[in-house]
Amino acid sequence: MTQTKIIGYLRVSPKVEDIDNRIDVMTNETQAALYIERGVRGNVALEDRPEFQKAYAQLKAGDTLLIWWMTDISLGFKLAYDVITDLLSNGICVRTYHQNLIFKPNDPSTEAMLRLIKGYEEIETYQRLMAAELGRRKLKGNPSEWQAKFKGRRANHKLHQKIAQLLTSDKTMQAIADETGASISTVKRVKAKLQNKANH
């Protein structure tokens, strides 16, 4: 009979004061099978997080992914919902140490919690869209500000070349953004352009 495992994943943030305690308790819970992500912001995609990828590779059906809280995998509800449902579809349980929430495949309580997260996601999206719309309305009332905001900027070709070179390394997109001073969206655009060129 295959023995199930508890694999831990913890994203370390400098804003968290009790990080040593979190590491200790989660190490005990996982019998040292804990993957700690350092220097990665909460908005970084999971495919660009080396330690999460290592943890994910260890998980099999029947295993449990232990996280401290949903902010370990995402700062927003949408990605948290997507990640949890993806793991559940592969027969993997998800447990949060904080509040001890347990998400199990084909479980009525889990389905109720997921509906709640989905509801929060929809509210979060609505609030973000409303904030953007209110910002646009305010700018439209001031034509000079509107033009300055949306006139666009010329591409920084030197910056893009440097990003392209770094993308060939094993660095994450967030690490490249930090090193070059570019935004994460700029790094993603350069990566997308390179992929499009490779496909044509």
CATH code of the domain in which 100 resides: 3.40.50.1390
Q: Cα 38 from chain centroid?
A: 13
Last residue of a domain, one of 48, 80, 112: 112
48 in Cβ contact with 28 (< 8 Å): no
32 within domain boundaries: yes
Q: How far apart are CA 51 and CA 12, in angstroms?
A: 11
Supply the range of the domain harboring residue 179.
Answer: 157-199
Are 85 and 161 members of one domain?
A: no
What does the pLDDT average to over 30-54? 89
Average the pLDDT over 125-133 and give the result.
79
Is residue 107 situated within a structural domain?
Answer: yes
Asked if residue 59 has pLDDT above 70, the reply is yes
Within a domain: residue 126?
no
Q: Which two tokens stand for residue 52?
A: 């999460």
One domain, residues 33 and 102: yes
Name the residue among 52, 41, 48, 53 with its Cα closest to residue 166. Answer: 48
* Residue 72 belongs to some domain of the structure: yes
* Spatial CA neighbour of 90 closest among 131, 62, 120: 62
Select from 51, 83, 112 the last residue of a domain: 112
pLDDT (0 to 100) of residue 103 = 97
Answer with the residue of higher pLDDT: 132 or 116: 116
Could you tell me which residues come within 8 angstroms of residue 122 by beta carbon, excluding any fewer than 6 positions away? Answer: none
11 and 107 together in one domain: yes
Q: Please choose, from the candidates 6, 73, 8, 5, the residue with its C-alpha nearest in 3D space to the C-alpha of residue 34.
A: 8
Rounded to whole angstroms, how far apart are CA atoms 64 and 59? 7
pTM as predicted:
0.69
Confidence of residue 83 (pLDDT cuts 50, 70, 90): very high
Percentage of the chain lying above the pLDDT 70 cut = 91
Say if residue 170's pLDDT is above 70: yes
In a domain? residue 140? no
- Judge if 108 and 161 occupy the same domain: no
pLDDT of residue 8: 97
How far from 84 is each of 2, 4, 75, CA to CA, in Å?
23, 18, 14
pLDDT at residue 150, as a whole number: 59
Any domain includes 150: no
Q: Are residues 92 and 166 in the same domain?
A: no
CB 93 within 8 A of CB 85: no
Same domain (yes/no): 101, 11: yes
Report pLDDT for 58: 94
Last residue of a domain, one of 88, 112, 136: 112
Predicted pLDDT of residue 177: 85
In-domain check, residue 177: yes
Same domain, yes or no: 11 and 95: yes
Residues 10 and 97 in one domain: yes
pLDDT average, residue stretch 150-174: 81
pLDDT in tens, 136-148: 777 777 776 666 6
What order of strands is seen across the sheet that includes strand 64-67? 34-38, 6-12, 64-67, 93-96, 102-103
- Residue 152 confidence (pLDDT): 57
Count of domains for the chain: 2
**pLDDT > 80? residue 38:** yes
With CA atoms as reference, report the closest residue to 100 among 63, 142, 58, 66: 66
Same-domain status, 13 and 72? yes
pLDDT at position 50: 93
Domain-located, residue 118: no
State the pLDDT at residue 56.
95
On whether both 96 and 185 belong to a single domain, the answer is no
Specify whether 12 is located in the same domain as 90: yes
